[in-house]
Chains A and B, each alone.
Chain A
Amino acid sequence: DAKTTQPNSMESNEEEPVHLPCNHSTISGTDYIHWYRQLPSQGPEYVIHGLTSNVNNRMASLAIAEDRKSSTLILHRATLRDAAVYYCILRPTNFGNEKLTFGTGTRLTIIP
């Protein structure tokens, strides 16, 4: 399975934008880039996913490099509720292998 590399931890000030990087240099053409986050004492929560083009939703934006070897999750205005562990995951789409394999993620701390 293709792997991702994320910083172990990041800090950001409340109400400022946050850019969470992810490297995935061995990504294959059929891998989707998924982001999930896990708040304390909860199951993971879907944030966003994309294949080649940048994506926006109500929670965040996903910027994907042209060569797809890296991506950045952008939280436009961080709140205290965004403090969580953020996981960048490559999800294969070939039949029978569409599983999510979690790495260690980035622990995001929001400073009031």
Chain B
Amino acid sequence: SAVISQKPSRDICQRGTSLTIQCQVDSQVTMMFWYRQQPGQSLTLIATANQGSEATYESGFVIDKFPISRPNLTFSTLTVSNMSPEDSSIYLCSAGADTGELFFGEGSRLTVL
């Protein structure tokens, strides 16, 4: 199993600023993903965080808005850039092996004013 820690757990930010969310896994994992969950909705995949290379983004998400780093097998960051109120959401990190179960963090609740 893997335990995933996300920081910050919640934040309130001003429009036009950027916030970086950190995801730390307690063991080495091959796969890491970032999701967004808006109030009352299901999870939407933002991107796959690739170790040592550029992230793979899903349709509707771009690197300039959501830059992602993954310097090693246990850590990744997601930055939400130039935030607007529409970016208010819960951002979740997920990690696991190529097959089998994926583990999720508790999420980072972001409110943009």
Q: Which residues A83-100 have CB closer than 8 A to chain B?
A: 85, 87, 91, 93, 95-96, 98-100
Q: How far is the CA of A71 from the CA of B98 in the complex (A)?
A: 22
Task: Summarize B's interface: helix, strand, loop or mixed.
Answer: strand
The one of A42, A45, A102 in contact with B44, judged by C-beta atoms closer than 8 angstroms, is A102
Q: How far is the CA of A42 from the CA of B105 in the complex (A)?
A: 8
CB–CB B42/A102 < 8 A: yes
A45, A46, A105, most chain B CB atoms within 10 A = A46
Contact with A along B97-109 (1 / 0, CB 8 A): 0111111111100
Q: For B35, give the chain A residue with the smallest CB separation.
A: A102
Any B CB within 8 A of the CB of A49: yes
Any A CB within 8 A of the CB of B12: no
Number of interface residues of B (CB under 8 A): 22
CB–CB B99/A43 < 8 A: no
Any A CB within 8 A of the CB of B43: yes
Task: Summarize A's interface: helix, strand, loop or mixed.
Answer: loop
Q: How far is the CA of A46 from the CA of B95 in the complex (A)?
A: 12
CB–CB B42/A103 < 8 A: yes
Q: For A102, give the chain B residue with the smallest CB separation.
A: B43
Q: Which residues does A use to contact B, with CB under 8 Å?
A: 32, 34, 36, 42-46, 49, 85, 87, 91, 93, 95-96, 98-105
Q: Which residues does B use to contact A, with CB under 8 Å?
A: 4, 31, 33, 35, 42-45, 48, 56, 92, 94, 98-107
